[in-house]
Copies of this chain bind each other. A is one copy, B any other.
Amino acid sequence: MPSNIEETVHQMGRQARTASYRLAQLSTEQKNEILRAMAASIRAKSAKLIEANALDLQAGQEKGLSKAMLDRLKLDQTRIEAMAAGIDQVATLPDPVGQVLDTWDRPNGIQIEQVRVPIGTIGIIYESRPNVTADAAVLCFKTGNATILRGGSEAIHSNRAIAEALQTGGANAGLPDHAVQLIPFTDRESVAALAGMDQWLDLIIPRGGKGLIEAVVSMARMPVIKHYDGICHLFADKDADQEMAVALTVNSKTHKPGVCNALETLLVHQSIAADFLPKVAAALLEKGVELRGCSRTLEILPDLVPAVEEDWDTEYLDLILSAKVVDSLEQAVAHINHHGSHHTDVIVTANQATAEAFMRSVDSACVFHNVSTRFNDGGEFGFGAEIGISTDKLHARGPMGLRELTSYQYRVRGNGQVKS
C-alpha cells in the first residue's frame, strides 16, 4: 500500500500531466499575461511573504544555521522585488515553443516538420534559497511545462507562500489548475516518490549540492539534468599574452570564488613558467588567494604550499588555486580531461592554431579562448534567464536557458501514403 506521502505525490503527478496538456495549448501572449499577473501577485503579497519567511528564519536560528545559510534564506523587500522583476523579465523573453527547427520533404511526398514543444512535466528539487521556487516555476511555465517543486525544509514556509502567490495570481489570468505545484512535505520520502514516478514526470532537475544530486541520480527513473561541480582550468600557453593571462586568472578565481564557474586550477606551459608564475602569484597574493603548486611550480616559487594529488580533483569554492607546470598543450589537455569536471576550461594564447586545437580536444561544455571562466553563464550568453549550468552531455550542456526546457515533435503531413 502506498504511503500517504507517495499517494499525494503521485496524485500531484497525475494533475501535473493533465495541466501540461492545457499549458501546451496556451499562446505566448496568454503565457506572458499570466507571468505578469504572477509578478504582480508576488509584489502584492510581499508582506505575507516576509511574514512566512520570518518563521523559516526563526526556525533556522533555533536549528543553528550558519549566518551564510540564514542570509541565503532571507527574503526582504529588495529580494521580493527582484523576484517579481525576474518574472516580468521572463515575460519579455522570446518563447521557443512552436519554433520550427527543421522541415523537409521526402520523395514520396510526405512533408516532415520538427517543431519545438514543451517537455511536459518537470520536477525541481532544491535546497535552501526560496527564490528558486519562483525562478524555476516561471521558466518551466514560460516553456509550457507543468512544474512540481520540492524545496528544502529550511524554507518551507517561504516556499509555500511564494507558490501560493504564483498560483493565485496566475489563476486570475488563466493559469491552468495544477500547473505549478509545491510538494507539502520535506521528508526524504517525497523525493523518492517524485523520482520514481516516470509515468507522470518527464524530467527532474536537482538544484543544490553534490549530495542532493547524487541522491536524485541514484533514485530517478526519468532523465535528470545535473549541475555538478565546476573544476575549471586556465592554461597559460607558451604564446600567451602574459598580462592577459594574469588578468584572466585573477578574474576567474576571485570575481566570485564560491560558484561553479570559478577557476580552480592554473596550468602553465613550461617555457613561460619562470617568467609568468611570479607575476601571477603576486597578483593573486594581492587578492588574498592561497596558491598551491606542483613540484615544478615550487622550484620557481619555493614558498608556496605544495599541491597534493587531491588538489587536482578539488573544487575549492574558495580563495585557493592550484598551479601546475606542463610540458605541452597535449599535457594540459590530458590533465583537464582527466581531472576536470567538463564544465569550463580556458586557454590563453596569441596562437590561433593552438587555441583551436585546445578547444577541439578539451571535452567540456564550454571551452574558452582568451575569456574569463566567469562567462559560462546563461545571462552572459544572452539567454535572458538560466535554470542552471548543465554538466550533462545529453539534451542540455552548459548554460540552460528556455530552449533547453523544451522537447520537439515531428509533424508529418501527407495525402494517404502507405508503406509498400
Bound Cα distance A255, B419 (Å): 7
Query: Which B residues lie within 8 Å of A407 (CB)?
Result: 393-394, 397
Bound Cα distance A413, B358 (Å): 12
Q: Per-position contact with B for A281-308: 1 when CB-CB < 8 Å, else 0?
A: 0000000000000000000000000000
Q: Does A415 make an interface contact (CB < 8 A)?
A: yes
Residue pair B397, A409 in contact (C-beta under 8 Å): yes
Which one of B106, B367, B374, B419 lies within 8 Å of A419 (CB-CB)? B374
Residue pair A412, B371 in contact (C-beta under 8 Å): yes
Contact A367-B418, Cβ < 8 Å, known A106-B382, A395-B394: no
When all copies of this chain in the complex are counted, the total is 2
Residue pair B367, A251 in contact (C-beta under 8 Å): no
Bound Cα distance A370, B381 (Å): 42
Query: Which B residues lie within 8 Å of A203 (CB)?
Result: 393-394
Which of A131-139, A170-178, A215-223 is near enough to bind chain B? A215-223
Residue pair A419, B380 in contact (C-beta under 8 Å): yes
Q: Per-position contact with B for A84-113: 1 when CB-CB < 8 Å, else 0?
A: 000000000000000000001010001010
Q: How large is the interface on A (under 10, 10 to 19, 20 to 34, 35 or more residues)?
A: 35 or more
Which one of B21, B202, B359, B398 lies within 8 Å of A393 (CB-CB)? B202
Which of A40-48, A59-67, A240-248 is near enough to bind chain B? A240-248
Interface residues of A in 398-420 (CB under 8 A from B): 398-399, 407-419
Which A positions have Cβ atoms within 8 angstroms of B?
A: 20-21, 24-25, 104, 106, 110, 112, 117, 119-120, 198, 202-203, 217-218, 221, 223, 225, 241, 244, 247-248, 251, 255, 337, 355, 359-361, 363-372, 374-376, 380-382, 392-395, 397-399, 407-419
The 9 closest A-B pairs by CB, nearest first: A371-B414, A251-B418, A374-B419, A395-B395, A393-B407, A223-B394, A244-B416, A394-B395, A368-B412
